[in-house]
C-alpha cells in the first residue's frame, strides 16, 4: 500500500452505507480502482480512509486497487497519462482499461457513495 490515507477507517460503519457497499461488491471482481492522492493532502486524509473502508467492506481484492502517491507538486506515476489535476482522484476502469467513471476531490458526496451511484447507472 503506497498511501497511508487508504488504510480503512476502523470507525466507518458499512451498515450505514449498505447500498454503496452492495454496488461496489457486485462489481468487485470486474473493476480496477486507481487512486491518486498524497498523505500530506488534507482532502485525501479526510476522504480516503472511508473509501478504503468501503472497498474493504465490499471485499474488493487488493490486486484491484492501485494507489499512486503524489508529491506536494502533485507529480507522480500516471499523472500526465490520466490528466490528474486535483487529489484525491479515483479512476474506475474495466479490466480492458476502459474508464467507467472518475471521482475528483470536489465531488458533492464521499467517494464510495459518489462512485457507487455512477457505477450503478453505468453498469446496470
Count of CA atoms in the C-beta half-sphere (13 A) of 46: 9
Interatomic CA distance for residues 106 and 97, integer angstroms: 24
pLDDT band at 115 (very low <50, low <70, confident <90, very high): very high
User: Are 77 and 68 within 8 A, CB to CB?
Assistant: yes
pLDDT at 107: 86
pTM value? 0.95
pLDDT at 123: 87
pLDDT at 100: 96
In this model, does residue 1 exceed pLDDT 70? no
Q: What is the pLDDT of residues 22-55, one digit of tens each?
A: 999 999 999 999 999 999 999 999 999 999 999 9
pLDDT at 91: 98
Amino acid at each position: 500500500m503506497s498511501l497511508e490515507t487508504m488504510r480503512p477507517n476502523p470507525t466507518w460503519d458499512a451498515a450505514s452505507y449498505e447500498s454503496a457497499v452492495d454496488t461496489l461488491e457486485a462489481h468487485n471482481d470486474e473493476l480496477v480502482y486507481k487512486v491518486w492522492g498524497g498523505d500530506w493532502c488534507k482532502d485525501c486524509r479526510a476522504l480516503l480512509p472511508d473509501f478504503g473502508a468501503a472497498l474493504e467492506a465490499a471485499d474488493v481484492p487488493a490486486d484491484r486497487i492501485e494507489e499512486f502517491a503524489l508529491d506536494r507538486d502533485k507529480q507522480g506515476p500516471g499523472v500526465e497519462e490520466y490528466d490528474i489535476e486535483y487529489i484525491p482522484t479515483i479512476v474506475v476502469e474495466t479490466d480492458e482499461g476502459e474508464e467507467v467513471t472518475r471521482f475528483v476531490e470536489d465531488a458533492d458526496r464521499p467517494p464510495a457513495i459518489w462512485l457507487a451511484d455512477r457505477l450503478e447507472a453505468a453498469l446496470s
